[in-house]
A = this chain, B = another copy of it.
């Protein structure tokens, strides 16, 4: 943008609006109402960490034709004014009497005919980022206009990434790889898991991350307990497998991949799990294609692991990636979402080495017509060893 704000040019946003409007026409939606940080960013380029404050709702309305309208708290006027949007309407939020609902009602009433329909994401992986009581006031005030589920409208557009987006995600993956390179030195300098995680986040920032929205990981003898816990002030010991997982962010785009390290030489069980995971990922890298489903991807990975005598982890074994840490679909045996060219996905096979001891690999890919293209530098075949 004009002031040096990172982001894409107007053409990318016009493409997104048109793609959504085409889906809206098919679904019979006369307007789309969006309330969440990712959807707002996707439509306008509005990027701020201010979403951390739950105080105020933010609304973007995309009409059937024309540019989106932002109905937002006054505090966002300056920043939204530099984004890609038609009209910007504001109110002095937070207002305990009317926190934007009057203004939003007016906006939608003018854009949607009385017998029309307003699409709102209501399905899997969505939530409504506004007070439920205000949503009820809104639907009552706009009746007989109907609200319907626009999850499909939004997800079918957002899940296909443009080359600009793919480049942005690759850039985040690349900077994270440099931070992972620093892990042996970090472990040599620090002894406890929480200190290692602090330094690792510092390394991500030094490598160029704008911020670090997610880190998780663990360390334990021959595997760790889970992949969502924050780091504890416990020492890392010889024999541990150390895992760091990160969702760093640059220009609003996430990476999401992990790396494993053996503190001292790994035991035989860990070696076997490592080999099975590496090879299962290779199978997916070789065989995944557009036209398969998320369930097919799950099957590729679980079969590859089972054939190698490993016990696949119970959770999902990969997912979408982009402007949130995880996006749909989910590589489970229940998700029948079709995989398309230019979806960005993670391959995340996990193995249960023993009860309560798991090993998880993760790579980020973009699915091309002829198969996956890696966005991450491939993890090494052998578990890297760190001597302490």
Contact = CB atoms under 8 A, between A and B. Distances in A.
Contacts of A15: none
Interface string A1-12: 001111000000
Contact count band on A: 35 or more
Contacts of A334: 95-97
Interface string A229-268: 1111110000000000001000000000000000000000
A38 to B, nearest CB: 8
B52 A213 contact: yes
Contact of A49 (B4, B151, B208, B215): B215
Most buried by B among A76, A124, A126: A124
Chain A binding surface, main DSSP class: loop
Contacts of A97: 334
Nearest to A76: B228
B228 A48 contact: yes
B132 A122 contact: yes
Nearest to A229: B79
Most buried by B among A76, A96, A247, A324: A96
A149 B325 CA distance: 31
A328 interface: yes
Contacts of A213: 49, 52
A125 B133 CA distance: 11
12 contacts: A3-B232, A48-B229, A49-B213, A49-B228, A55-B326, A55-B330, A78-B229, A78-B356, A96-B334, A132-B149, A201-B212, A202-B205
